[in-house]
């Protein structure tokens, strides 16, 4: 199968992915999971896999938070 030069990706373009926050990723997975649950032919193992992905995103977002001391919390404006 021949691929035209127009369809080829520029190697420099592959590193230009937009930043996606954990909240955006969580909401996207949640929306997809809700769609699959509402769909007549939902796939239980796929819904279960998405639940695991949601748990991982939620865990990741909690581990990146930085705990402040009480003094630091009340001194910030």
pLDDT of residue 23: 87
The pLDDT of residue 57 is above 70: yes
- Kindly state the average pLDDT of the residues 15-34: 88
Rounded Cα distance, 50 and 23, in Å: 15
The pLDDT of residue 59 is above 70: no
Rounded Cα distance, 62 and 36, in Å: 27
- Kindly state the average pLDDT of the residues 28-38: 89
pLDDT band at residue 28 using 50, 70 and 90 as cut-offs: very high
Indicate the pTM of the whole model: 0.54
pLDDT of residue 22: 85
Do residues 42 and 36 lie in contact, with contact meaning Cβ atoms separated by under 8 Å? yes
Cβ count within 10 A of residue 29? 19
């Amino acid at each position: 199968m021949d691929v035209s030069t127009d369809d080829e990706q520029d190697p420099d373009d592959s590193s230009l992915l937009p930043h996606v926050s954990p909240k955006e990723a969580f909401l996207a997975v949640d929306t997809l999971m809700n769609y699959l649950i509402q769909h007549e032919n939902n796939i239980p193992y796929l819904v279960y896999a998405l639940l695991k992905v949601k748990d991982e995103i939620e865990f990741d977002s909690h581990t990146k938070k930085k705990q402040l001391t009480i003094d630091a919390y009340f001194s910030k404006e």
